[in-house]
Amino acid sequence: MSRGDGTVAAGTPASSFNEREMQICTVARMVEDERTYWVAGGGGPMYAVLLAIRLYAPGAQYITEDGVIAPEPLLPFEPVMTMVSSRAGYRALAWGTMNTAGNHAQLGLMDYGLLNTLQVDQHGNINSTAIGTYGERARRFGGPGGADSIAALCWRTVLMTDQEKRKFVERVDFISSPGFLDGTEGARERAGLPPGTGPHRVVTPWAMYDYTTDRRLRLAARAPWVTVEQILAECEYPPVVADEVGVLSGPTEEELQILRSELDPRGQNTGERSAWVVFDGETYTRAAG
Protein backbone atom coordinates (compact mmCIF):
# COMPACT_ATOMS: atom_id res chain seq x y z
CA MET A 1 0.00 0.00 0.00
CA SER A 2 2.78 2.40 0.82
CA ARG A 3 4.06 4.76 -1.84
CA GLY A 4 7.54 3.99 -0.58
CA ASP A 5 9.84 6.89 -1.27
CA GLY A 6 7.20 9.59 -1.71
CA THR A 7 7.98 10.19 -5.35
CA VAL A 8 4.99 8.36 -6.78
CA ALA A 9 1.36 9.17 -6.13
CA ALA A 10 -1.60 7.23 -7.48
CA GLY A 11 -4.53 9.45 -8.35
CA THR A 12 -5.51 12.55 -10.26
CA PRO A 13 -2.83 15.24 -10.21
CA ALA A 14 -4.23 18.28 -8.41
CA SER A 15 -4.49 21.48 -10.41
CA SER A 16 -3.93 23.94 -7.56
CA PHE A 17 -2.36 23.57 -4.13
CA ASN A 18 0.12 25.19 -1.81
CA GLU A 19 3.62 24.02 -0.97
CA ARG A 20 2.75 23.09 2.62
CA GLU A 21 0.18 20.66 1.24
CA MET A 22 2.84 19.27 -1.08
CA GLN A 23 5.16 18.62 1.87
CA ILE A 24 2.46 16.83 3.87
CA CYS A 25 1.47 14.67 0.87
CA THR A 26 5.11 13.71 0.24
CA VAL A 27 5.56 12.55 3.83
CA ALA A 28 2.19 10.75 3.80
CA ARG A 29 3.31 8.65 0.85
CA MET A 30 6.43 7.62 2.75
CA VAL A 31 4.46 6.22 5.67
CA GLU A 32 4.82 2.45 5.88
CA ASP A 33 1.78 0.34 6.57
CA GLU A 34 1.67 -1.63 9.82
CA ARG A 35 4.50 0.38 11.36
CA THR A 36 4.51 2.51 14.49
CA TYR A 37 5.14 6.26 14.41
CA TRP A 38 5.91 8.58 17.30
CA VAL A 39 4.56 11.80 15.92
CA ALA A 40 5.34 15.31 17.15
CA GLY A 41 2.23 17.01 18.47
CA GLY A 42 0.39 18.97 15.83
CA GLY A 43 1.52 20.49 12.59
CA GLY A 44 2.75 18.77 9.46
CA PRO A 45 3.86 15.50 11.04
CA MET A 46 0.45 14.73 12.49
CA TYR A 47 -1.45 15.69 9.33
CA ALA A 48 0.96 13.58 7.25
CA VAL A 49 0.42 10.45 9.30
CA LEU A 50 -3.35 10.98 9.44
CA LEU A 51 -3.46 11.43 5.65
CA ALA A 52 -1.40 8.28 5.20
CA ILE A 53 -3.72 6.24 7.42
CA ARG A 54 -6.75 7.44 5.42
CA LEU A 55 -5.26 6.81 2.00
CA TYR A 56 -2.15 4.67 1.87
CA ALA A 57 -1.31 2.90 5.11
CA PRO A 58 -4.49 2.02 7.00
CA GLY A 59 -2.54 -0.20 9.36
CA ALA A 60 0.03 2.42 10.40
CA GLN A 61 -0.30 3.37 14.07
CA TYR A 62 0.89 6.45 15.90
CA ILE A 63 1.54 7.60 19.42
CA THR A 64 2.01 11.07 20.83
CA GLU A 65 4.10 12.40 23.67
CA ASP A 66 1.29 12.23 26.22
CA GLY A 67 1.07 8.46 25.85
CA VAL A 68 -1.88 8.24 23.45
CA ILE A 69 -1.51 4.94 21.60
CA ALA A 70 -3.18 4.43 18.20
CA PRO A 71 -6.04 6.97 18.44
CA GLU A 72 -8.78 7.67 15.94
CA PRO A 73 -8.94 11.39 16.66
CA LEU A 74 -12.07 13.47 16.31
CA LEU A 75 -11.10 16.10 13.77
CA PRO A 76 -10.55 18.96 13.38
CA PHE A 77 -8.41 19.83 16.37
CA GLU A 78 -9.04 23.05 18.23
CA PRO A 79 -5.97 25.32 18.03
CA VAL A 80 -2.99 23.74 19.90
CA MET A 81 -5.21 20.97 21.33
CA THR A 82 -3.28 18.16 19.69
CA MET A 83 -2.19 16.44 22.92
CA VAL A 84 -3.81 15.82 26.31
CA SER A 85 -7.11 16.67 24.71
CA SER A 86 -10.21 14.56 24.38
CA ARG A 87 -10.44 14.96 20.60
CA ALA A 88 -6.78 14.07 19.99
CA GLY A 89 -6.94 11.00 22.21
CA TYR A 90 -10.34 9.81 21.01
CA ARG A 91 -10.80 6.07 20.45
CA ALA A 92 -7.18 5.27 21.29
CA LEU A 93 -6.19 1.71 22.15
CA ALA A 94 -4.44 2.87 25.32
CA TRP A 95 -3.77 6.01 27.29
CA GLY A 96 -0.59 6.62 29.22
CA THR A 97 1.73 9.47 30.11
CA MET A 98 4.95 10.94 28.84
CA ASN A 99 7.05 8.24 30.45
CA THR A 100 4.88 5.67 28.64
CA ALA A 101 5.89 7.18 25.31
CA GLY A 102 9.54 7.49 26.34
CA ASN A 103 9.74 3.95 27.65
CA HIS A 104 7.98 2.39 24.67
CA ALA A 105 10.39 4.10 22.29
CA GLN A 106 13.32 3.13 24.49
CA LEU A 107 12.15 -0.50 24.26
CA GLY A 108 12.34 -0.31 20.46
CA LEU A 109 8.59 -0.30 19.80
CA MET A 110 8.64 2.85 17.66
CA ASP A 111 9.67 2.24 14.05
CA TYR A 112 9.62 5.87 12.98
CA GLY A 113 9.78 9.29 14.55
CA LEU A 114 8.17 12.14 12.67
CA LEU A 115 9.24 15.68 13.57
CA ASN A 116 9.23 19.32 12.60
CA THR A 117 12.39 21.31 13.09
CA LEU A 118 13.71 24.85 13.02
CA GLN A 119 17.17 23.99 11.69
CA VAL A 120 18.97 20.86 10.50
CA ASP A 121 22.63 20.26 9.65
CA GLN A 122 24.66 18.05 7.31
CA HIS A 123 24.57 15.22 9.85
CA GLY A 124 20.85 15.48 10.58
CA ASN A 125 21.21 17.16 13.97
CA ILE A 126 18.15 19.12 15.03
CA ASN A 127 17.92 22.57 16.60
CA SER A 128 14.78 23.80 18.30
CA THR A 129 16.43 25.68 21.18
CA ALA A 130 18.29 28.77 20.00
CA ILE A 131 19.41 30.51 16.80
CA GLY A 132 22.68 32.37 17.24
CA THR A 133 25.41 31.86 19.83
CA TYR A 134 23.85 30.09 22.78
CA GLY A 135 24.23 31.99 26.02
CA GLU A 136 25.46 35.14 24.29
CA ARG A 137 23.37 36.52 21.50
CA ALA A 138 20.73 34.06 20.52
CA ARG A 139 17.05 34.05 19.80
CA ARG A 140 15.44 31.59 22.15
CA PHE A 141 13.02 28.93 20.96
CA GLY A 142 11.00 26.37 22.87
CA GLY A 143 13.50 23.57 23.43
CA PRO A 144 13.37 19.95 22.27
CA GLY A 145 10.11 19.00 23.97
CA GLY A 146 9.62 15.38 22.93
CA ALA A 147 11.87 15.59 19.87
CA ASP A 148 15.07 14.59 21.66
CA SER A 149 13.54 11.28 22.71
CA ILE A 150 11.97 10.74 19.29
CA ALA A 151 15.28 11.38 17.48
CA ALA A 152 17.27 9.28 19.96
CA LEU A 153 15.00 6.28 20.40
CA CYS A 154 12.84 5.64 17.31
CA TRP A 155 14.50 3.40 14.74
CA ARG A 156 14.27 5.97 11.95
CA THR A 157 13.68 9.71 12.16
CA VAL A 158 11.91 11.69 9.45
CA LEU A 159 12.17 15.47 9.67
CA MET A 160 9.98 18.14 8.15
CA THR A 161 11.27 21.67 7.71
CA ASP A 162 11.12 24.60 5.31
CA GLN A 163 13.46 24.94 2.36
CA GLU A 164 15.25 28.08 3.54
CA LYS A 165 18.92 28.93 3.54
CA ARG A 166 19.18 29.46 7.29
CA LYS A 167 17.57 26.09 8.01
CA PHE A 168 20.16 23.94 6.20
CA VAL A 169 23.51 24.60 7.85
CA GLU A 170 26.89 22.98 8.28
CA ARG A 171 26.38 22.61 12.02
CA VAL A 172 23.26 23.59 13.92
CA ASP A 173 23.67 26.40 16.45
CA PHE A 174 22.50 24.05 19.20
CA ILE A 175 21.95 20.29 19.06
CA SER A 176 18.57 19.97 20.76
CA SER A 177 17.92 16.50 19.37
CA PRO A 178 20.50 14.14 17.96
CA GLY A 179 21.19 13.31 14.35
CA PHE A 180 24.49 11.62 13.59
CA LEU A 181 26.15 14.15 16.00
CA ASP A 182 29.68 14.82 14.62
CA GLY A 183 29.02 12.37 11.79
CA THR A 184 31.74 9.91 12.75
CA GLU A 185 30.92 6.22 12.84
CA GLY A 186 29.53 5.18 16.21
CA ALA A 187 29.09 8.75 17.51
CA ARG A 188 25.53 8.08 18.66
CA GLU A 189 26.48 4.88 20.47
CA ARG A 190 29.40 6.63 22.19
CA ALA A 191 26.87 9.15 23.50
CA GLY A 192 24.74 6.39 25.00
CA LEU A 193 22.08 6.25 22.27
CA PRO A 194 20.78 2.86 21.13
CA PRO A 195 22.47 1.37 18.05
CA GLY A 196 20.65 1.12 14.74
CA THR A 197 18.70 4.34 15.21
CA GLY A 198 19.03 7.74 13.58
CA PRO A 199 18.15 10.17 10.79
CA HIS A 200 16.34 8.73 7.79
CA ARG A 201 14.80 11.47 5.63
CA VAL A 202 14.27 15.22 5.55
CA VAL A 203 11.29 16.57 3.62
CA THR A 204 10.69 20.19 2.65
CA PRO A 205 8.03 21.63 0.33
CA TRP A 206 10.63 21.49 -2.45
CA ALA A 207 12.74 18.45 -1.77
CA MET A 208 13.41 15.15 -0.11
CA TYR A 209 16.78 14.27 1.34
CA ASP A 210 18.25 10.98 2.51
CA TYR A 211 21.72 10.25 3.94
CA THR A 212 24.88 8.86 2.39
CA THR A 213 26.50 5.78 3.86
CA ASP A 214 28.92 8.10 5.64
CA ARG A 215 25.98 9.86 7.33
CA ARG A 216 25.76 13.08 5.33
CA LEU A 217 22.60 14.74 4.13
CA ARG A 218 21.94 14.06 0.43
CA LEU A 219 19.42 15.67 -1.91
CA ALA A 220 17.45 12.72 -3.29
CA ALA A 221 14.39 14.20 -4.99
CA ARG A 222 12.90 17.55 -5.98
CA ALA A 223 9.46 18.98 -6.56
CA PRO A 224 8.65 19.20 -10.28
CA TRP A 225 8.51 23.01 -10.25
CA VAL A 226 12.00 23.63 -8.86
CA THR A 227 15.50 22.85 -10.11
CA VAL A 228 18.34 21.36 -8.13
CA GLU A 229 20.08 24.74 -8.40
CA GLN A 230 17.10 26.51 -6.83
CA ILE A 231 17.13 24.07 -3.93
CA LEU A 232 20.88 24.41 -3.40
CA ALA A 233 20.45 28.19 -3.37
CA GLU A 234 18.19 27.68 -0.35
CA CYS A 235 20.80 25.70 1.60
CA GLU A 236 23.41 27.65 3.55
CA TYR A 237 25.58 24.52 3.55
CA PRO A 238 25.29 22.48 0.35
CA PRO A 239 24.14 18.88 0.81
CA VAL A 240 25.54 16.02 -1.21
CA VAL A 241 23.53 15.68 -4.41
CA ALA A 242 22.46 12.20 -5.52
CA ASP A 243 23.72 11.04 -8.92
CA GLU A 244 20.14 10.92 -10.06
CA VAL A 245 17.81 13.35 -8.32
CA GLY A 246 14.27 11.97 -8.49
CA VAL A 247 11.16 14.01 -9.16
CA LEU A 248 8.39 14.03 -6.56
CA SER A 249 4.78 13.75 -7.65
CA GLY A 250 2.58 16.74 -6.96
CA PRO A 251 -0.40 16.28 -4.65
CA THR A 252 -3.43 14.42 -5.97
CA GLU A 253 -7.02 15.59 -5.82
CA GLU A 254 -7.75 12.62 -3.55
CA GLU A 255 -5.06 13.67 -1.07
CA LEU A 256 -6.15 17.29 -1.03
CA GLN A 257 -9.80 16.38 -0.63
CA ILE A 258 -9.04 14.50 2.58
CA LEU A 259 -6.54 17.05 3.83
CA ARG A 260 -8.80 20.03 3.20
CA SER A 261 -12.20 18.65 4.08
CA GLU A 262 -11.47 16.16 6.85
CA LEU A 263 -8.10 16.77 8.46
CA ASP A 264 -7.59 20.52 8.38
CA PRO A 265 -10.82 22.15 7.15
CA ARG A 266 -9.90 25.44 8.80
CA GLY A 267 -6.51 25.58 7.08
CA GLN A 268 -4.81 25.92 10.44
CA ASN A 269 -1.71 24.14 9.25
CA THR A 270 -1.84 24.33 5.50
CA GLY A 271 -3.19 27.84 5.24
CA GLU A 272 -0.14 29.56 6.62
CA ARG A 273 2.22 31.49 4.39
CA SER A 274 3.30 29.14 1.66
CA ALA A 275 3.38 29.66 -2.07
CA TRP A 276 0.71 28.33 -4.41
CA VAL A 277 1.40 26.07 -7.35
CA VAL A 278 -0.82 25.46 -10.36
CA PHE A 279 -0.72 22.50 -12.75
CA ASP A 280 -2.15 22.83 -16.24
CA GLY A 281 -1.90 19.15 -17.11
CA GLU A 282 1.68 19.45 -18.34
CA THR A 283 3.59 21.98 -16.30
CA TYR A 284 3.67 23.03 -12.67
CA THR A 285 3.99 26.77 -12.13
CA ARG A 286 4.80 28.35 -8.80
CA ALA A 287 3.25 31.68 -7.93
CA ALA A 288 5.40 34.06 -5.88
CA GLY A 289 5.27 33.05 -2.21
Chain residues that interact with another protein, rule: CB under 8 A: 65-68, 74, 78-81, 83-87, 89-91, 95-99, 101-102, 106, 129, 134, 139-149, 152-153, 174-178, 181, 187-194
d(CA 133, CA 111): 34
Q: Which is nearer to another protein, 13 or 145 (CB)?
A: 145
Q: Which residues contact residue 184 at a Cβ distance below 8 angstroms, ignoring those fewer than 6 apart? A: none
Q: Which stretches within the chain are classed as H helix?
A: 19-30, 43-55, 98-106, 147-153, 187-190, 228-233, 253-258
CB of 6 to another protein, least distance (A): 27
Q: Which is nearer to another protein, 68 or 120 (CB)?
A: 68
d(CA 69, CA 60): 12
Q: Which is nearer to another protein, 95 or 237 (CB)?
A: 95
What letter represents residue 286's amino acid?
A: R
Q: Which is nearer to another protein, 84 or 245 (CB)?
A: 84
Q: Which is nearer to another protein, 144 or 251 (CB)?
A: 144
d(CA 130, CA 181): 17
d(CA 92, CA 94): 5
Cα–chain center distance at 130: 20
Cis omega (within 30 of 0) for bond into 195: no
For residue 153, what are the CA distances in angstroms to 50, 108, 199, 200? 22, 7, 11, 13
Strand partners, 285: 278
Q: Which is nearer to another protein, 101 or 208 (CB)?
A: 101
